[in-house]
Homo-oligomer: A and B are copies of this chain.
């Protein structure tokens, strides 16, 4: 394929393979260099081509956020999956279909009643559901407290009578996203590991096996200490990076591997504005950088070739299919002729990427080398 981005349709999602490969290699070296296993989270990329880069040098297991991802990656040959969203009984039949195909799809729960139902359903279906206990490691979203009675109750329910097996404990310190210094992230990371290890120790003291202790988020994996007893780290957004991750110190803006290609569709003078064909759908309404010192509006604007404009430019407002960039310097207007293209770096790449079925892949610069698919949504993987 020799298509140049200048000839690509807009809006489109552009992925710079060179930056992606640099990001995945760096994280793999960081985690394996500490003697830990990295289980990349594919919720952001949702792409087998990206997974292959993320898995290079790692043990081969991935994390997924939907059963659609699980089915898609299984169909592409990945056989060790952790489905890291609390399972509900109505989803077990879909998981059982994966198990019967030889795919190890591990579940999570934090609920004693659900744990009992998992085991009962496994017995009824003739399968064994490997299940981890979700631990609240500080975020207070999901998970049992490591000192709670529920921790042991969930473990016992999974172990009773077959149909399920306690595979370990897992937690996610999403609260690290609220930290505003590397030292604060490191403290959050230490708590994340210690809470999970403490839960594993209590299960073992009660006579249960707990082979895996899995934690992680991009900030805590990057900046946290090694907590003895943790066996596995999970993170995902590091593959692409985004403006929020840059604002909290997880990466540099120059590391960002994904941008939205947009066309300039209109001009206005006084105040000077450029209108592009990437709005709330193409960029998402995420405003996470507003809570940081680097508010990027709805995204930072780059030139078509990925270089920075002469002055920083942001998408200030979005409508469903329109984005508005304000340009204070009238001399800059000529650089953004109607019909010309820009690239917009996203605040939160997980949400932006979810609007596209595929990536236009470049390898530095603006020459497309490939198109890579994505598995969006929650339906059966196609």
Contacts from A to B (Cβ < 8 Å): 7, 9-12, 43, 65-66, 85-91, 110-111, 113-114, 117, 134, 140-142, 174, 263-268, 275, 277, 280-282, 284-287, 317, 319-322, 324, 337-339, 348, 350-351, 354-358, 376-379
- Name the B residues within 8 Å of A86 (CB-CB): 265-266, 275, 277, 338
Contact B140 A268 (CB under 8 A): yes
Once the chains bind, are A339 and B114 in contact (CB under 8 Å)?
yes
Report A134 CB to chain B, min CB distance, Å.
8
Return the chain B residue nearest A278 by Cβ.
B378
Task: Give bound CA distance, A142 to B322, whole Å.
Answer: 9
Docked complex Cα distance between A196 and B270 (Å): 21
CB-CB under 8 A from A378, the residues of chain B are: 9-12, 282
Please tell me if the beta carbons of B277 and A88 are within 8 angstroms of each other in the complex. yes
Which residues on the B side are within 8 Å of A268 (C-beta)? 140, 142
Within the complex, what minimum Cβ distance (angstroms) separates A351 from chain B?
6
Q: CB-CB < 8 A to A377: which residues of B? A: 355-357
Asked whether A275 lies within 8 Å of B142 as measured between CB atoms, the reply is yes
Least CB distance from A255 to B in Å reads 21
A157 to chain B, nearest CB (A): 13
Whether the Cβ atoms of A266 and B142 lie closer than 8 Å is yes
Q: Which chain B positions have C-beta within 8 A of A322?
A: 85, 141-142
Contacts of A263 in B (CB 8 A): 88, 90
Answer whether A338 and B88 are a contact pair too, CB < 8 Å, given A351-B285, A378-B10.
yes
- In angstroms, how far is the closest chain B Cβ from the Cβ of A51? 17
Closest chain B residue, CB of each to CB of A382: B357
Question: Across the interface, which residues of B come within 8 angstroms of A9, CB to CB?
Answer: 90-91, 378-379
Given contacts A9-B378, A9-B379, A320-B351, 10 further A-B contacts (CB under 8 A): A85-B265, A86-B275, A88-B264, A90-B263, A111-B338, A142-B322, A280-B286, A280-B351, A281-B350, A357-B379
Chain B hits for A91, CB < 8 A: 9
Q: How far is the CA of A275 from the CA of B111 in the complex (A)?
A: 12
Give A341 Cβ to nearest chain B Cβ, in Å. Answer: 9
**Smallest CB–CB gap between A296 and chain B, Å?**
15
Q: Report the minimal beta-carbon distance from A372 to chain B, rounded to whole angstroms.
A: 14
Chain B min CB distance to A196 (Å): 17
C-alpha spacing A90/B86, complex, angstroms? 45
A348 CB, nearest partner CB in chain B, Å:
8
| Smallest Cβ-Cβ distance to A140: which chain B residue | B268
> What residue in chain B is nearest A340 (Cβ atoms)?
B88
Q: State in angstroms the CA–CA spacing of A324 and B142 once bound together.
A: 9
With CB as the reference atom, state the residue of chain B lying closest to A265.
Answer: B86
* Docked pose: A90 CA to B320 CA in angstroms: 20
Contact B87 A265 (CB under 8 A): yes
